[in-house]
Amino acid sequence: MTWTRQEFLADVAGTGVLAPAYADDVLVRLAHHSTAIEGNTLTLSDAITLLVDERAPVAGTPMRELYEVANHYQALARVLRAISSNEPLTTGLVRDLHSALMDHLTHDHGQYKTASNIVAGASWRPAPPDRVPELMLQWADQSEWQTANLDNEALLEAIAGAHIAFERIHPFSDGNGRTGRAIIAYQTIRRFGFPAIIQVAQRPAYLAMLDAQDTPALTRLLAVSLADEAGRRAAT
């Protein structure tokens, strides 16, 4: 793996954004749920074994699945560094998150797609490659203003709408879902102090929300997640 737990914890301590024990908890759950939504077969217990104990959880596990989970060391650390330094939401940050999440998984990690792609089962088609740079600049400018200036329900609605818009652009050849959910973590930790984590059990409803562009429903899902997370952080 490209990062170790020691490197992750050192980065977390350097930012001061999350307490180490809570950062561990967020790391494991974000890595597990976000990758499981995409079909990764590692369980939550497996993610703990890999990320906390630094041991391969199951003999014969494909390397791809291990990297998909372990790359969240880098991604969450990048999120926390951005928040610590008051870094705005830019296309550069988005590409950094994609680069971290797709390290050892794609040859073009951190780079926009150069060929058209599709989303299996979706009723819509992603933006064509030649429009991605322009659309992402517009998306980042709007999302940053909303993240910085809105509050409460209006903020959550903006985060939900931005996530749907990001997935519709689908700027990368692969890893768009994981990157989009890492952006949600950045936005919610930045403004609330803890993340909204979409759970794999919510996958069917979540995908339906994306397909239907149902911003109100996704807003409610994020609100429930944040309410649960507030209690979890207090108990960690």
Tell me the per-residue pLDDT of 6-36, one tens digit each, with 9 for 90 and over: 999 999 999 999 999 999 999 999 999 999 9
Cα separation, 56 vs 197, whole angstroms: 24
Collapsed DSSP state (helix, strand, coil) of residue 111: coil
Q: What is the pTM of this model?
A: 0.97
Annotated binding residues for ATP, as ranges?
A: 174-181
Domains of the chain in sequence order:
5-112+125-234 (1.10.3290.10)
| pLDDT value of residue 1 | 52
Tell me the per-residue pLDDT of 133-161, one tens digit each, with 9 for 90 and over: 999 999 999 999 999 999 999 999 999 99
Catalytic site positions: 170
Tell me, what amino acid is at 85? S
Residues of the chain with pLDDT under 70: 1
CA dihedral 65, 79, 206, 156 (to 10 degrees): 170
